[in-house]
Amino acid sequence: MSRITLSRFLIEQQRKAGTLPPELRLLIETVGRACKAISYSVNKGALAGILGEAGTGNIQGEAQKKLDVIANDFLLDANEWGGSLAAMASEEMELPYHIPGEYPKGEYLLMFDPLDGSSNIDVNISVGTIFSILRCPEGIDHPTQEAFLQPGTKQVAAGYTVYGPQTMLVLTFGSGVHGFTLDREHGSFVLTHSDMQVPESTQEFAINMSNMRHWEAPVKRYVDEMLAGKTGPLGKDYNMRWVASMVAEVHRIITRGGIFMYPKDARDPDKAGKLRIMYEGNPMAFIIEQAGGAATNGYQRILEIQPQGLHERIAVFLGSKEEVERITRYHQEQ
Ligand code: P6P
């Protein structure tokens, strides 16, 4: 069977009536190229002297790792000149990045978390890049953050690249979810997982249990029922995972099922949760829903939430439909 590279897949999707406009295809290919460069750097690690702290902080008030900054720069450098974008926004930057005057602008807005889970880098555990693509509202030549503040249902494409034992790019533009594995010998992403589907039921959950004393009642009820196992109300035993890398959790869930939870908790009552809606919640929710799963903030679909700020945080419950529906019901019943 001939190998279908990312470029070939996207060109063939573009040929199908209206599934992928040329400019969007080019943009996705460019993001893929930037992720390849990030993968090569992540894989070099200490050999390239790029582990450890950068000595700088980001808008989130987090200490940046050297690779956070490198990954962010790769994505900016790869995408600023192509002519597809009106602007970019990143977890690592307070304000949107405007396309330099010497380059043409395009109709899309690109948002990304350049290296999610970066606390795992120095201990050699999987990390990833998450990206989300919106259309820039008509008539806006100099997009401020307001242009980005669109609900997740407006996304035209989203994806992540997980830098694990394999480097995999997983992508949707509204016609299902497709996975590509990086072939380092040829330097190309090759289609290896067509039309990925999240199993509707599961026996595996992912949450940081050390925060249990801070959870709200519906989350405590839900997790207690799973911990009760076969003799409990759910009548089955569950297993638990926590990688502290959302991209790795989501990839496991889209591959074999599960539920990922990062709830609001009492540690910081003013925060709706830890994860950011624009470049973590929305892209992952789009991917999971396109793969037949569900994604809510405990009360509503994440994709329907109207964001109020570029770095707004939300609670996230996503994965196998049966489980997300149950914990969402518990929130609604309280
Ligand atoms: P905690 C990584 O920092 C991240 O944003 C997600 O990738 C991950 O799921 C979560 O935070 C881990 O958070 O509180 O367990 O370290």
DSSP conformation letters of 263-286: ---TTSTT-S-SEEIIIIIHHHHH
Give percent helix, percent strand, percent coil of the chain, each to the nearest 5: 35, 25, 40
Whether the pTM exceeds 0.95: the reply is yes
Same domain, 218 and 162: no
Pocket test for ligand 1, best of 59, 274, 277, 284 (most atoms within 8 A of CB): 274
Give the whole-angstrom CA distance, residue 230 versus residue 37.
46
Work out how many domains the chain is built from and give that number. Answer: 2
CA 137 to chain centre: 23
Amino acid identity at 51: L
Residue 236 lies in a domain: yes
**CATH code, 303:** 3.40.190.80
84 is in an annotated binding site: no
How far is residue 145's CA from residue 130's CA, in Å, rounded to a whole number?
A: 19
Q: Which of 173, 193, 213 is the last residue in one of the domains? A: 193
Is the CB of 92 inside a 6 Å radius of any atom of ligand 1? no
- Contact between residue 304 and residue 190 where contact means Cβ atoms under 8 Å apart: no
Q: Which atom of ligand 1 is nearest to the CA of 260?
A: 9
Residue 115 labelled as part of a binding site: yes
pLDDT at 1: 63
Out of 143, 162, 193, pick the residue that ends a domain: 193
Atom of ligand 1 at shortest distance to CA of 242? 15
Distances in Å between the alpha carbon of 99 and those of 77, 88, 102, 136, 154?
10, 8, 8, 13, 22
CA of 125 to the centre of ligand 1 (A): 13
Distance 31 CA to ligand 1 centre (A): 23
| Residue whose pair of structure tokens reads 């991917």 in the numeric block | 287
Residue given tokens 């509707």 in the structure block: 200
Q: What is the DSSP string of 233-257?
A: TT-S--EEE--S-HHHHHHHHHHH-
Q: Are residues 269 and 183 in the same domain?
A: no
Cβ of residue 119 lying under 6 Å from some atom of ligand 1: yes
d(CA 319, CA 204): 10
Residue 81: inside a domain, yes or no?
Answer: yes
Q: Is the CB of 117 under 6 A from ligand 1?
A: yes
Closest CA to 20 of 136, 12, 88: 12
pLDDT in tens, 154-188: 999 999 999 999 999 999 999 999 999 999 999 99
* Residue 198: inside a domain: no
Residue 116 annotated as binding site: yes
Is 237 annotated for ligand binding? no
Spans of the chain, pLDDT less than 70: 1
How does pLDDT run across 208-220, given as a tens digit for each residue?
999 999 999 999 9
**231, two tokens:** 């003799």
- Within this chain, do residues 159 and 298 fall inside the same structural domain, yes or no? no
Residue nearest to atom 9 of ligand 1 (CA): 246
Q: What is the CATH number of the domain that holds 161?
A: 3.30.540.10
User: How many C-beta atoms surround the C-beta of residue 77 within 10 A?
Assistant: 11
Question: Phi/psi of residue 183, each to 5°?
Answer: -95, 105
Res 245: pLDDT: 97
Same domain, 11 and 117: yes
| Strand spans (E) along the chain | 53-57, 63-65, 85-90, 97-98, 108-116, 127-135, 157-163, 167-172, 178-183, 188-193, 204-206, 239-241, 259-262, 275-276, 294-296, 313-314, 316-319
Residue 284 forms part of a structural domain: yes
Residue 1 lies in a domain: no
List the domain range (segments joined by +) for residue 122. Answer: 6-193
Same domain, 43 and 166: yes
Whether residues 117 and 210 fall in one domain = no
User: Does 145 contact ligand 1 (Cβ within 6 A)?
Assistant: no
Q: Which of 70, 69, 103, 83 is nearest to 30 (CA)?
A: 83
Whole-number Å distance, alpha carbon 247 to ligand 1 midpoint, is 10
